[in-house]
Amino acid sequence: MSDYSDTPDVESEPAPAPAPAPKKKREGVKMTDKQKQQLNKHMEKVGKDMSVSERKSHRMKMMGRMRKGMSVAKAHKEISGK
């Protein structure tokens, strides 16, 4: 028979978890009409030899970079260079 009265009392309250850092809200930056036209022109030029999924992937990568302020040429170079 074991007697548990010899064990020290353990607080039943768990240690408070550290507060999570406030997440930065991503603000949606829309593309301008000029950027959309430039992207459409770019996709006509480079999308001819791509499959549908490759074209969509390339377009989405380009859009993400263009929303951050990159030019079409710079965004394409960054994607192609990887």
Domain membership flag for residue 41: no
**CA count, 13 A, side-chain hemisphere, 28:** 1
Percent of the chain scoring above 90 in pLDDT: 59
| b/e burial code for range 43-71 (CB count within 10 A of at least 16 → b) | beeebeeeeeeeeeebbeebeebbeeebe
User: How many structural domains compose the chain?
Assistant: 1
Domain carrying residue 64? 51-82
Q: CB atoms < 10 A from the CB of 75, how many?
A: 23
Domain membership flag for residue 38: no
Average pLDDT, the chain: 84
CA distance 80 to 35: 19
Mean predicted confidence (pLDDT) in 10-29: 68
- What single-letter amino acid sits at 8? P
pLDDT confidence bin for 3, thresholds 50/70/90: low
Domain membership flag for residue 57: yes
Task: Name the token pair of 37.
Answer: 């036209």
